[in-house]
Structure 1
Amino acid sequence: MQAKTGDKVRVHYTGKLTNGVVFDSSAGREPLEFTLGSGMVIAGFDSGITGMQIGEKKTVHIPVADAYGPSDENLVFQFNKSDLPQDIPFEIGMQLNMHADGEGQVIPVTVTDITETGITVDANHPLAGQDLVFEIELVSVN
């Protein structure tokens, strides 16, 4: 049985950057379960599984456009420290939530730079701008 759009699939995977650094893996956890073609995962991961058979293993190379897209400089923001809460000990790499509008929408951001007078945060997905490599094993198809 080959996996096709609309099927609920379960996969084990290891996600790597092109330099071999692992950024995520299902090792030691339950397989990832989702419906093919539903938009629940990045496009390249979805299309990489389509056509696989149960028990099949393969490596899928996903270009930026089919992963998290290019990094967008419009999603990098600078703030004056004087405009921020003084009780937060900001650190590079720190994850924060930023309110995007008056309607309560919250966007996760990462602190990327700290100066004497301000901080820079990035609202891009941490893997934006990266080509990705996934080792995938199709566990089941329903």
Structure 2
Amino acid sequence: MMIEENKVVSLNYTVKDEHGEVIDTSEGGDPLTYLHGANNIISGLEAALVGKAAGDSFDTVVAPADGYGEYNEEMVQVVPRSAFEGVESIEPGMVFTAQTQGGPVQLMVTGVEEDDITVDPNHPLAGKTLHFTGSVVEVRDATEEELAHGHVHGPGGHHH
């Protein structure tokens, strides 16, 4: 069975940045299991996996536009310390979820200068070229429930 839309795919993978540093890997853990065509993984990797079957390996480079997007400096902003109500200590590297008109957004604190807190809502991998290697473990038909929910259920997937 080959990878195509509405198939459940399990794969072992390692992803590295443009400097060869490992960002994430399934090595030593469970394979990544996702519903193909449901936007559960980045588009560049999903496109590279089409037509592969269990036992096939993959080695693909994903540009920022097909990964987590380009880094947008204009999204970085300085907010007052008062925006962090109830938080005693704010340090660079801390991650918060802000409620916006467009829904929740994750922000990373990148600078603290007295009452001015610099936050960056860009995805941590925005602007990075990613190198994926790995192998396909299993490809199966999705269940009706998985198709209706848009994600995998059971081992390696989502549990309700």
Superposition TM-score, scaled by structure 2 size: 0.79
Taking the TM superposition and a 5 Å limit, the aligned residue runs for 1:50-89 are 50-82=50-82, 84-85=84-85, 87-89=87-89
Distance 2:32 2:83 in 1: 41
2:93 corresponds to = 93
Structure 1: 5+ residue stretches without partners: none
Deviant stretches of 4+, over 4 Å: none
Q: Report the AA paired with residue 54 of structure 1.
A: A
Identity %: 31
- Per the alignment, in what secondary structure is the counterpart of residue 78 of structure 1? strand
The answer to whether 1:141 aligns with 2:139 is: yes
Structure 2: 5+ residue stretches without partners: 141-160
| 1:71-128 superposed Cα distances (whole Å, 9 cap, x missing partner) | 1234212112355437421111111111213x8x321110011113311111111101
1:36 corresponds to = 36
CA RMSD of aligned residues (A): 1.8
Q: Report the AA paired with residue 106 of structure 2.
A: P
Distance 2:86 2:3 in 1: 53
Cα deviation, residue 15, structure 1:
1.2
1:13 corresponds to = 13
Distance 1:21 1:44 in 2: 19
Mapped contact 1:60–1:136 kept (Cα < 8 A): no
Deviates more, 1:39-48 or 1:74-83: 74-83
Mapped contact 1:55–1:138 kept (Cα < 8 A): yes
Distance 1:126 1:10 in 2: 25
Cα deviation, residue 14, structure 1:
0.9
2:2 corresponds to = 2
In the alignment of these two chains, the number of paired residues is: 140
- Per the alignment, in what secondary structure is the counterpart of residue 14 of structure 2? strand
Superposition TM-score, scaled by structure 1 size: 0.88
